[in-house]
Amino acid sequence: MLASDALVGDRFGSNVSVDEGLVLIGRNLDDAEGGDLGGAYIFRYNGNSWIEEQKLVASDAEGGDRYGGSAVWLSGNVALVGSHLDGGIGNHHGSVYVFRFDGSAWIEEQKLMPGGEQFGRGASINGDLVVIGGSSEMAVVFRYDGTKWTQAQTLAAADGEAVGEFAHHISISGSDVMISRATDNEGFGAAYIFDLAESVSVEEPLSLGLPALRLMDIYPNPFSESVSVHIVVPETEYIRFEIFDISGRLIYRAAERVFFPGEHILKWVPGTVSGGLYFFRLHTDRQVSTLRAVLIR
């Protein structure tokens, strides 16, 4: 596949996405319109070959925006094109353009620009759900209500280590969102899973093959008067144990100290706290783990 207006050095193919007979291809340094604007192209398979259907052009693109040079994503009749150096709301704050196919052409539907450094470096879409990242310490969730895309919430690493290319790569499956962090202060990197089925974002850790804190059980569940969390600590670690309600509000900090290797029981007596779903989160220097329990009143 080649762009119809290809020029040497424009890096056509910098990013790609495919979905059922369609391909979206980004072009990082497109000079066809002048000044390294960038570009994005839709190709459609006609049964025999891939045909360039349309070049997606941002309505307000300017030189140096690198439109299409960071994230591109296809899902059915909706296409996302990132422009991570877009200075429309500040110096390189970035943005993402949403295009929708109306049956005959791809039309620019909305420009998403909540702010943040180089917003649009990473993006993913699944139905009416879009998650977009940049170089800041968070990713932003948008939902489509049938007429417009609205910012719904933000996702951040609960371990506070969301540095080093957080959310440059994002993948969505159902209500689960995986977000990468290529590097951190120690150079290891990490990946985070968020469950958007709940109104509060709950990050679940991925095992990296290192000895890890294990949450064995939470009981009883549901509970009324008290609840206990059974954990296994593989090595001496400083652990912070916190409890959040469904809105993400910190309810109780049950422990913040050094734990020695072995099994431990952490108990919470809710007192006058209202009934509902609660999240029990344990932090270490390199891991965050979460369990859920329901308080019945």
Whether 49 and 190 share a structural domain: yes
CB 99 within 8 A of CB 136: no
- For residue 65, the model assigns a pLDDT of 58
Task: Give CB contacts under 8 A, 24+ apart, made by 152-160.
Answer: 153/201, 155/131, 155/179, 155/192, 155/194, 155/201, 155/203, 157/181, 157/190, 157/192, 157/203, 157/288, 158/203, 158/281, 158/283, 158/288, 158/290, 159/283, 159/286, 159/287, 159/288
Whether 46 and 160 share a structural domain: yes
CA distance 208 to 206: 6
Whether 72 and 146 share a structural domain: yes
CB 129 within 8 A of CB 117: no
- For residue 121, the model assigns a pLDDT of 75
Peptide bond into 270 cis (omega under 30): no
Whether 123 and 245 share a structural domain: no
> What are the b/e assignments for 66-82, b being 16+ CB within 10 Å?
bbbbbbbbbbeebbbbb
Which residues of the chain have a pLDDT value below 70?
6-11, 13, 28-37, 61-70, 84, 86-93, 114-118, 134-137, 157-165, 182-189, 197-216, 285-287
Q: Is residue 18 part of a domain?
A: yes
Written as one letter, the residue type at 268 is W
pTM metric for this prediction = 0.60
Whether 224 and 270 share a structural domain: yes
Q: Is residue 167 part of a domain?
A: yes
Domain limit, last residue, from 159, 186, 205: 205
Whether 123 and 42 share a structural domain: yes
Domain range for residue 170? 12-205
- For residue 205, the model assigns a pLDDT of 44
Whether 186 and 255 share a structural domain: no
Q: Is residue 154 part of a domain?
A: yes
Whether 189 and 233 share a structural domain: no
- For residue 89, the model assigns a pLDDT of 42
* DSSP notation for 275-287: SEEEEEEEE-SS-
CB 178 within 8 A of CB 191: yes
Domain limit, last residue, from 186, 205, 224: 205
- For residue 88, the model assigns a pLDDT of 47
Q: Is residue 48 part of a domain?
A: yes
First vs last Cα of the chain: how many Å apart? 62
Q: What CATH number does the domain containing 241 carry?
A: 2.60.40.1930
Q: Is residue 94 part of a domain?
A: yes
Whether 94 and 39 share a structural domain: yes
**Number of structural domains, the chain?**
2
Whether 38 and 18 share a structural domain: yes
Whether 192 and 244 share a structural domain: no
Q: Is residue 178 part of a domain?
A: yes
Domain limit, last residue, from 205, 227, 255: 205
Distances (CA, A) of 151 to 63, 142, 291: 27, 4, 27
Q: Is residue 182 part of a domain?
A: yes
CA distance 26 to 17: 9
Whether 178 and 219 share a structural domain: no
Tokens in use for 112?
A: 């998403």
CB 59 within 8 A of CB 82: no
Residue 83 C-alpha from the chain's centroid: 17
